[in-house]
Structure 1
Amino acid sequence: MTDKNTLIVEGKLADNERMKTQSNFLRGTITEDLKDDLTGGFTPDNFQLIRFHGMYQQDDRDIRGERTKQKLEPLHNVMLRARLPGGVITGEQWLAIDKFADDYTMYGSIRLTTRQTFQFHGVLKPNIKLMHQTLHSVGIDSIATAGDVNRNVLCTSNPEQSAVHTEAFEWAKKISEHLLPKTKAYAEIWLDGEKVETTEEPILGSTYLPRKFKTTVVIPPQNDVDVHANDLNFVAIEEDGELVGFNVLVGGGLAMTHGDESTFPRRADDFGFISLEHTLAVAEAVVSTQRDWGNRVNRKNAKTKYTLERVGVETFKAEVEKRAGVSFTASRPFTFTSRGDRFGWVEGVDGKFHLTCFIENGRILDYPDKKLKTGCREIAKIHPGEFRLTANQNLVIAAVPVELKDQIEALAQAHGLMPNVSAQRKDSMACVSLPTCPLAMAEAERYLPQAVDTLEGILAKHGMPDESIIYRITGCPNGCGRAMLAEIGLVGKGPNKYNLHIGGNREGTRIPKMYKENITDVEIMDILDDLIGQWSVNRESNEAFGDFVIRAGIVAPVIDSAKDFYA
C-alpha cells in the first residue's frame, strides 16, 4: 500500500512487467509462434506482445461452444488496428485495404473505429505477415496501436477549416512519430527487415508504459475526439486564422472495472497553454512522467488518470514543466459546442469540397440494401483527394475538386453512403463487442440499430421526433464506445444486461452517473420512455436531455469522479 502522495507505487510488479522485461524490446518469440501450424493462436506472452504490433488475438464467440463440442480449439484469428494519425488515408491506400479485406479476412469488412482508424477483423495466422506487408507497401503500419504505448493520435476531422486542420494534422503526425517505440522489432518480424540490436527506448523506457496511453489534437469548437477520454490532449488555439499554440489537457480516461470502486472514468485537467515550438517536449515530458510514476503493481490503477489522483495534479504538472523545460501559461479561452460530424457537403476555405458520409457502427461492408464497400471502392478509384476517418466512426471524402463533386455524390447516393437517417441515429455509437471482442459482456454493435429504432419511437411518442440524445453502448467497462461521455450510456454487465448511466452533456465535458445497475434492454427502454416523457414536458428552452436530468435532480452531476462517481 502507498499513501496518496507517493510518487512510486511499491509492491510486486504486475506480470505484464515481467513479460515486457523479457520480450527483448517487443520481439518475444513471435517469429517462432508464426511457424507453429498446430495452433491458430499465440503463446500467452506473445498473446500480449502482438498488441504492441497493433493486433489482438480473438476468436468467433458465436461458434466457440460448437467448436468445443467438436474438440476443436477456438477459431483463433487476429484483429489489426492501423496507425493513421488524424485518420487521413489516400485513395490508393483505401483500395489496398479494401482488397485485403475481401481476400484475406473472415468477415470481408473494413471497420472504422472510435480511434479514428480502421480495423481488419478475422485474419488467420497464415495471413498475418502478408497483412503487414500489404499495408507497408502503401505506407501504412500498425506500430503501437495497442499495448502499453502511446496509441494512434487523433485529430479533429474538420472539413471547413482546411488551413488550420492541415497544420493541426501535421502536429498529430509529429507527435505520433516522436512517441513511437524505437525498437526495430516490427520491421524484423513482419517486414523481414535487418535485425538491429535494441539497447534502449529513450522515451518509453525498456518496459514501456505502465498502461495504454491515448493522445489527441482537437480544434474547437468541435470536440469530436472526446478529449476527456484521453490521457493527453492538445487543444488548438487559433488567432487570426493561424494556429499559435495549444492548451494541454492531461489525465482523461473512461475505463473502469465492475465492482472495483478504485476505478472510475475521469475528466482531463487543463495544465495551461504552450506555444507550438514546445509541443513535442511537453508530449514527451507527460509520457515520461507517466512512465516513471505510473502504477506498475496494479494494472487496474495504472492509467495516467490514477497517477494524477495519487500524486496530485500540481505535482504532476510541475514535473512535466521541469522535464520539458517549459512553464505553462494561463489557458487561452476556448469553447466546445458539439461532438458530432457534419454530414453532407461543405466547402472548405481552399475551395474544395468535403462529403461526410454516415456509416452506422463504422462497419463498411456490402449489405443487401446498401453496397457501402463497393461504393467506397468506386469513389477511391476516381478521387484524387483523401479520405478522413472520424472519431465517430464515419467517413469524410475530403478535398474533392468541384469538377468531380457531382460524380462522387452520384456514387455515394447509389451505394447508400448518404442515407436519410434521424438525428438520433447520427448521435448514437457502439463498440464492436460480440462476437469478436474477448472482453465483451453484452452486445453493442449488433444491438445498436435496434436500440436506436426503439429510441426514435420513444422520441416520436413524446412529440420530439427531430430531437436527439448522445447515446452510446459499450459491451464492457473498458470504454471503447465512450459511453462514459454520453448523455445516455449503456455499459455491458452480462448477457443482455447493462448498467444505465445518464447525465453527461452534449459537449462531452461531463461524466454521466449510474442510474440503474444490471438491467435488461427492455427495462432500460421503459425507464428512458419515462425520463424522456418528463424531459418533453418540463424541459427549458432547448435544454438537452443530459442537462435536464441534472437540473431536475434525477441524478447528481459528477464533478469530481474520485468522490462523486459512486456516491
Structure 2
Amino acid sequence: MTDEQSKKSKVELIKEASVGLRGTITEELADATTEHVADATTKLLKFHGTYQQDDRDLRKLRRKEGLGKAYSFMVRNRIPGGKMTAAQFLGELDIADELGNGTIRITTRQSIQLHGVVKGNLWDVIHRINAIKLSTQSACGDVTRNVCCCPAPLRHNGLRDQLQRLADEIAVHVRPTTKAYHQIWIKDPETGAREQVAGPPSEPEPDPIYGKAYLPRKFKIGLALCDDNCIDAYDNDIGLLGVTEGETLIGFNVLAGGGMGTTPSKKQCFPALAKRLAFIQTEHLLPVITAIILVQRDFGNRADRSQARMKYLIHNLGVLAFKAKVEDYLSQAEAICGVAEGTVPRPLPQPHPADVTGHDDHLGWHEQGDGKWFLGLPIENGRVKDEGELRLKTALRILFSDHVTNARLTAQQNILLCDIESHQRATIQKVLADHGVVTVDQISNTRRFAFACPALPTCGLAVTESERALPGVIDEVEAELRELGLADAQFTIRMTGCPNGCARPYNADIGLVGRSVDGKTGEGRYTVFLGGNLIGTRMNAVFKDQVPRGEIVATLRPVFIHFQENRQGEETFGDFCDRIGVEALAKVGQAV
C-alpha cells in the first residue's frame, strides 16, 4: 500500500477499484449459494440505491438454532421533489407485495423505501422500479442523493412549479455518468438478457463532477422558499432558499454545510445547520452547485469517514476560505455546465437579507390555483401498510386506481394527493373513512408534526427503537398536553434510533435520539434535546441524557408545566426552551 493509499479509508479504496461502481456486483448477485454479498460489494450497492440489512429481531433465535443472519435488502428510490404518477405509486405497492415485506415507507427526503427484499429478488426489484420510470441510482452512496424541494402543487403564482423544474434539472445534472447502473440492472432490449448489456470497461468512464472516487460522503441538496421551509433547507449540504419580490423569484440564497449526523463519542463530530454563503441568480445555480461539489470532492476528508461531510470542511476552513475555494472552482464548473467562463459573478455576492420565516406541511385540503385541489394526507412515520382497522395501503390502491392521477411525497413522510376535481372530494373522503384512514383534522398537533426513522429491526446502525416506539410516546405526550390545556400547541417531536439523525432530530423542538440499551431490561435509553424550531433555523441542545423510554414523558412533564405557566404570548415551545435555556429547564425538572 502506498503512502497516499494509507491515508484513505477502506471505502475510498473500494470505490477507486470498482471500475465505475461495478465491482463484482453482477457475479455476486448470480451466486445462489449465499443470501448476502461481501462487505466491499455492500459499499458499492449503496450507489445503486440499496443497503444490505438483516432482521435484528431474529438474531438471537437464529443464533440459538445455529443459523446465520436473516439477510435482506432495503431498496430506496430517487424521486426528485417527490413527484409520482398514480401508476408509479401502484407499481411500488405491487413490488412491495410481490418481492418485499408488503409495506412501503415514505422517507424524510421525499422518496420511497422498500424493505425485506431478499438477494434473489434484488435484481427484479430494481429492474421493475426502472420499468415504471423511476430509479434507484444515487439514492444512497457518496454522491448527491435525492434532490428535495417543496412538493405542494400551488400554481397561483408559479413559484413552486419553478422549484420543481429546477429540482429536476439539478437531479439530472448531478447524476453520475457511469453506465454501470444501466448495465447491471436494465435488460438488454434486444436479447432480454438479465446480465450486463456489455462487459465493464478497463477504466471507468470519466465523470466530470465526481471523478474516479466520487465524493468523500453523501451529499444532499434541497430547495425551499423563505415563507415555506417545508424541506428543512438548512440541514442540507446545499440549501437553496428562494428569494422573492412579490410573486417573482429573483434568485437564491445558497446555504452550505448542513448535516444531521454525528458520533457522540467523538468530540470533533457534531450536527450542523448550513451557513449562508451567497446570493445568486437562478441562471447561475448549476455552475455554483457544481463548484461547491468540486470543492468537497477535492478537499473533503477521505481518511476518516466520520469527518467526511462538507460541514466539517467548512468548519475547518471557515466560511470565507471555503467561499474563496468555490470561487476558484467556478471556471471549471462553468466549463462542465457548458457556459462561458466568467458567466457567474466573482466574487460571489453576499447573501440576501431574506431568510426563513415559515413552514407549511401542506396537510388537509387546498385549492391548487388552477381550479383543482390537493389533499395532504398524514401518514404516521411514512409507513404505508394495512394493519387492524387502518387499511391505508388498500385505500391508496383504490384512490390511485380510480380517483387520483398523481401525488407528491413530503419531507415529513406524508403524501399529497394532487389534481383532484371538486366533485371528487366527497368520494375520496369516503374511501379514506371506510378504510380507517385519518385526515389531519382528526389528529393532534403533536402527532401531526412528529416523525421517526425506521431503526429496528432493519437498520444496522440502530441502537434503540424509533418508528415502533414513537406512536406510544406520542400517546403519552398527547395525554399530558390535554391535561395542561396545551393540546393546540404546535411543535415537532422527532425520534431516531441512533445519533445519525435520519429524522432530523437536532433542529426539532424536541429531539429524541437513541443512546443505549439497558442490559437487563432491554429498554432503550435516549438523549432528549430541546429548543429547536419548526421552521428549521435553530439547533436544539441536550436537556438530559440516557433517559429510559418509559421515563421520556415524565422527564418532559415539568418542562411542559413551566411552559404552560411562563409562556409569553403565542411563544412556541421551542422558542420558550431556547429563551429559558436547557440548564435552567433542568433545574425546573429537579425542583418538581
1:189 to 177, 184, 204: 184
2:578 to 545, 550, 554: 550
Q: Give 1:529 deviation, angstroms.
A: 0.4
Q: Partners in 2 of 1:241 and 1:548 — Cα distance?
A: 33
| Cα distance, 1:368–1:523 mapped onto 2, change above 3 Å | closer
- What's 1:54 paired with? 49
Q: Partners in 2 of 1:204 and 1:143 — Cα distance?
A: 14
- What's 2:169 paired with? 174
Residue deviations 1:175-196, cap 9 Å, x none?
1111111101111111145336
- State yes or no: 1:513 paired with 2:507: no
- What's 1:4 paired with? none
- What's 1:267 paired with? 273
- What's 1:165 paired with? 160
- State yes or no: 1:336 paired with 2:356: yes
Q: Partners in 1 of 2:418 and 2:148 — Cα distance?
A: 17
Aligned to 1:165, the other structure's residue is in SS state helix
Q: Partners in 2 of 1:519 and 1:371 — Cα distance?
A: 34
Alignment of structure 1 residues 177-326 onto 2, 5 Å: 177-193=172-188, 194-195=197-198, 197=201, 198-324=204-330, 325=342, 326=344
- State yes or no: 1:463 paired with 2:485: yes
Structure 2 unmatched ranges of 5 or more: 189-196, 331-341, 518-523, 586-592
Deviation larger for 127-136 or 389-398: 127-136
- State yes or no: 1:16 paired with 2:44: no
- What's 1:68 paired with? 63
Q: Partners in 2 of 1:524 and 1:450 — Cα distance?
A: 11
Residue deviations 1:45-95, cap 9 Å, x none?
001110000000011110111111122221111001100000000011111
Residue deviations 1:15-54, cap 9 Å, x none?
1111101111100101111111222111010011100000
Residue deviations 1:229-260, cap 9 Å, x none?
21001112233423332111100111100211
- What's 1:127 paired with? 121
Q: Partners in 2 of 1:556 and 1:187 — Cα distance?
A: 57
1:492 to 514, 530, 533: 514
Aligned to 2:37, the other structure's residue is in SS state coil
- What's 1:481 paired with? 503
Amino acid corresponding to residue 258 of structure 2 in structure 1:
G
Q: Partners in 2 of 1:384 and 1:542 — Cα distance?
A: 38
Q: Quick check: 1:340–1:427 contact (8 Å CA) kept in 2? A: no
Structure 1 unmatched ranges of 5 or more: 1-8, 558-567
Aligned to 2:69, the other structure's residue is in SS state coil
Q: Partners in 1 of 2:351 and 2:581 — Cα distance?
A: 32
- State yes or no: 1:27 paired with 2:15: no
Aligned to 1:63, the other structure's residue is in SS state helix
Q: Quick check: 1:237–1:246 contact (8 Å CA) kept in 2? A: yes
Residue deviations 1:266-301, cap 9 Å, x none?
111111211111111111111111000100111101
- The two structures have a TM-score, normalised by structure 1, of 0.93
Deviation larger for 448-457 or 314-323: 314-323
- What's 2:39 paired with? 44
Q: Quick check: 1:549–1:555 contact (8 Å CA) kept in 2? A: no
Q: Give 1:335 deviation, angstroms.
A: 4.1
Alignment of structure 1 residues 374-385 onto 2, 5 Å: 374-383=394-403, 385=405
Q: Give 1:161 deviation, angstroms.
A: 4.4
Percent identity for Structure 1 against Structure 2: 39
Q: Partners in 1 of 2:582 and 2:18 — Cα distance?
A: 51
- What's 2:94 paired with? 99
Amino acid corresponding to residue 160 of structure 1 in structure 2:
L
Q: Partners in 1 of 2:52 and 2:5 — Cα distance?
A: 31
- State yes or no: 1:528 paired with 2:548: no
Q: CA RMSD in A?
A: 1.8
Q: Give 1:144 deviation, angstroms.
A: 0.5
- The two structures have a TM-score, normalised by structure 2, of 0.90
Deviation larger for 319-328 or 174-183: 319-328
Q: Partners in 2 of 1:486 and 1:415 — Cα distance?
A: 32
Q: Partners in 1 of 2:482 and 2:452 — Cα distance?
A: 22
Aligned to 2:544, the other structure's residue is in SS state strand
Q: Which gives a bigger RCO, structure 1 or 2 (Cα 8 Å, sep 6+)?
A: 1
Deviation larger for 402-411 or 174-183: 402-411
- State yes or no: 1:362 paired with 2:368: no
Q: Quick check: 1:550–1:556 contact (8 Å CA) kept in 2? A: no
